[in-house]
Amino acid sequence: MDDLNLQMRRYLTRSNDIPSKVLGWDFPKERQKALSLAFQPKKAPKIQGDIMD
């Protein structure tokens, strides 16, 4: 099992450095970074006179 985990980590590391046609020739790790920045949760604006104050 340890050998399988090691091989999978190596494969994923290599495959994240190969551009993908499906991703518009972006690298998977670059696309993941762009998506994580685009979908960060935003804080709700503070409402004055909120009941919880």
pLDDT digits (tens, 9 = 90+) for 41-51: 777 777 776 56
Per-residue CA distances from 48 to 15, 35, 36, 51, 53 (Å): 50, 33, 31, 9, 9
pLDDT exceeds 60 at position 1: yes
d(CA 47, CA 27) in angstroms, rounded, equals 41
Mean pLDDT of 8-13: 94
Q: What is the dihedral of CA 23, 26, 27, 30, to 10 degrees?
A: -100
d(CA 8, CA 10) in angstroms, rounded, equals 5
What single DSSP character describes residue 38? H
